[in-house]
Amino acid sequence: MFHLKAKKLHPDARLPVSAHHGDLGCDLFSLEAELIPSGGQALVRTGIALRFPDGWGGIVKDRSSMAVARIYTAGGVIDAGYRGEVKIILRNESGKDYKIKGGDKIAQIVPLKAEQWVVDEVEELDETSRSSGGFGSTGK
C-alpha cells in the first residue's frame, strides 16, 4: 500500500483525500479564498507539505468539474525531495472571474513512480511508423 505523508503548515489546511476507494488521485484543497480574474491566473495555497515514498512523486491535475468551468491547473510536478508548501497554479480561461473559497477542492494529485534515467546524445534516432507526426496527425 502507498503511504503519502502530509504535514499541515496551517491549522485551517485540509489533508488530501480520495473520494472513493480505488481512485487514482487525491483531492487538494485551497487554504484561503482567492479570486482568479477572467483570462488570468493565481497561485493558490494548500497549507500542506508532502513526502512521497522513496522513488515516487506526484503530478497535479485538473478536477473535471473545474475543467468544465474552464479553470485549469498549470505546472504541477512535485518531486520526491520537495518539502515546501504545495501551491497550485490555476488559470481562468472562462469569460468571467472565478471565486474560490477556503476549503474548496481545487486540484488532484496523482502519484507517479520516478524512474532514474540518463540522457545519451546520439547522431541519429531509429525510424518508426509515426516518425515526426504529432498534434493531431493520427486523426487525419
Mean pLDDT within 47-63? 95
Is residue 134's pLDDT more than 90? Answer: no
What whole-number distance in Å separates Cα of residue 92 and Cα of residue 34?
12
Cell numbers at residue 35, please?
A: 479570486
Contacts of 8 (CB under 8 A, 6+ apart): 15, 47, 48
* pLDDT at position 140: 65
Residue 71 β-bridge partners? 92
Bridging pattern class, strands 56-61 and 5-8 = unpaired
Which one is predicted more confidently, 59 or 131?
Answer: 59
Mean pLDDT score across all residues of the chain: 93
Q: How confident is the model at residue 30 (pLDDT cuts 50, 70, 90)?
A: very high
Nearest Cα neighbor of 113 from 79, 63, 73 is 79
* pLDDT at position 135: 72
97 residue type, one letter? D
List the domains of the chain with CATH numbers. Answer: 5-139 (2.70.40.10)
